[in-house]
Amino acid sequence: MNIMKAFRRGYFLVNKNIKMVPIIYIVNLAVATILTIPMFATLNRSLGARAVREKMIQNFDYDWWSTFRLGANSFEKTIRPSLSSGFGTLFDNLQLLLNGKFTSFGIWILVFGVAYLLLAAFMNGGVIGIYADEKRPFTVSRFFSNSGFYFHHFFALLFAVVILFFVVYKFISPAIFGIINGFSRNWMSDRAVWFVNLAGYLVLLFIIAFINMIFDYAKIILVVEKKKSSWLCIWLGFKFSVKHFTETIGLYFLLAAVGLGLVLVFGLAQTFVQPTQIVMLVIVITIQQIFIFLKIGLRLDFYGAQMALYQQDQSTVRKLRKV
C-alpha cells in the first residue's frame, strides 16, 4: 500500500465533495450559538456594569474576573482565562486530552460535549457514506440520508470508544505514571524526571491515537463492506491496523502532522494580530473561521485518506484471489 497515494486520494475526495465542509460548518456554528449567545449576553452585562470593557481590551482584569467568578452560575462557571497567545486553546485542549479531566470545565460543558459527539457521529456517517459511493454525485439529501442510515451503528461505535477511553484514563494512564513515579522518585535531576514524564505522555498520546485510528477504520469497514455488526467492525478495524501497522500509523501521523502545522500557522497569526481595535478583532475572528473551515476539511481528509488506504489493500487482496 502507498501512503502518499492514499494521502492524495483523500485530498481528492475532500475537494470533490467540498460542499460537505460548509454544511458541517453551519451545523457546528448553530450548535456553538446555543452557548455563545447566552455567554455573550452575560459577559456584556458584567463588563458594561463594571466599566472594564476598555481595560479588558488592553489587558486582562483579574479583579473583574474574581468578582465575576464568585457570582457565576451553571454555564458561566465554565468561562475561565487562558493564555493570551494564539496557542492558548491548543495547550488547554492538549492538557485536557492527556489528563482526561473532562469535568474540569464543569458538568454542563461535559453534557454539551457528549451531545456534540452524538452530532459528530451522525455527520460522520454522511461523510463516509458519500465517500464509499463516490460514483453518485453529491447531494445534501444523500448526505443526511447516509447520516441517518448509519447513525445507530456509529452510536454503538461511539459508546464503545467512550468505554475504552474511560479504561485508558482510569487505569492505563495511572499505571503508566505510577511506574514512572516509582523508579524516578529518588532521582536527583529534575530534568531527567521531566523527560521521563514526557515519554510517559507520548506513550499515552500514542495509545489514544491508535484507539482513535482503529475506530476510524471500523467506521470505514462498516460502510464500505456494508457490515451489519458494529462490534465485528471494531475487531476488523483493529486487525487491519495491526496487520498494516506501518502504513496505517504512518498515514495517521502524516495527517496529524498536517493538522499540527495548521495549528502552528494560525496560532502564530493570532499571536501577531492583537485585537485591540474593532478592525483587528474582525481580522482575528476571520482567521479563526478560516481555521475552523480547514480543520473540518482535514477531518474529512482523515476519512478519505484512510478509506483510500483500506481500498488499496482490498484491491490487492482481490487481485491475489484471481491469480
> What's the rounded mean pLDDT across residues 228-254?
93
**pLDDT higher than 80, residue 82:** no
Instruction: Measure the CA–CA gap between 142 and 127, rounded to whole angstroms.
Output: 10
In whole angstroms, what separates CA 168 from the centre of its chain?
Answer: 17
Percent of the chain with pLDDT over 70: 78
295: number of Cβ within 10 Å: 17
- Nearest by Cα to 217 from 91, 88, 121, 303: 303
For residues 268 and 241, the model is more confident at 241
CB-count exposure of residue 37 (10 Å: 0-12, 13-18, 19+): exposed
Q: What pTM does this model have?
A: 0.84
Query: Residue 322 — pLDDT band, cuts 50, 70, 90?
Result: low
pLDDT tens digits for range 161-218: 999 999 998 899 889 888 888 877 777 677 888 888 888 889 999 999 999 999 999 9
- Nearest by Cα to 216 from 251, 262, 246: 251
Instruction: Measure the CA–CA gap between 110 and 168, rounded to whole angstroms.
Output: 18
Instruction: Measure the CA–CA gap between 190 and 178, rounded to whole angstroms.
Output: 17
Decide: helix, strand or coil at residue 227. coil
pLDDT at position 285, please? Answer: 80
- Which residues, in sequence order, are CB contacts of 258 under 8 Å at separation 6+? 298, 301
Instruction: Measure the CA–CA gap between 152 and 298, rounded to whole angstroms.
Output: 25
Find the domain containing 60 and state its range: 3-322
**Count of structural domains within the chain:** 1
pLDDT at position 150, please? Answer: 93
- Which residues, in sequence order, are CB contacts of 307 under 8 Å at separation 6+? 10, 13, 128, 131, 132, 220, 224
Instruction: Measure the CA–CA gap between 184 and 168, rounded to whole angstroms.
Output: 22
CA dist 119 → 123, 124, 294 (Å): 6, 9, 19
pLDDT tens digits for range 15-44: 999 999 999 999 888 888 877 777 777 777
Query: Residue 313 — pLDDT band, cuts 50, 70, 90?
Result: confident
The long-range contacts involving 79-82, CB below 8 angstroms and separated by at least 24 positions, are 79/39, 79/43, 80/105
User: N- to C-terminal Cα distance for the chain?
Assistant: 19
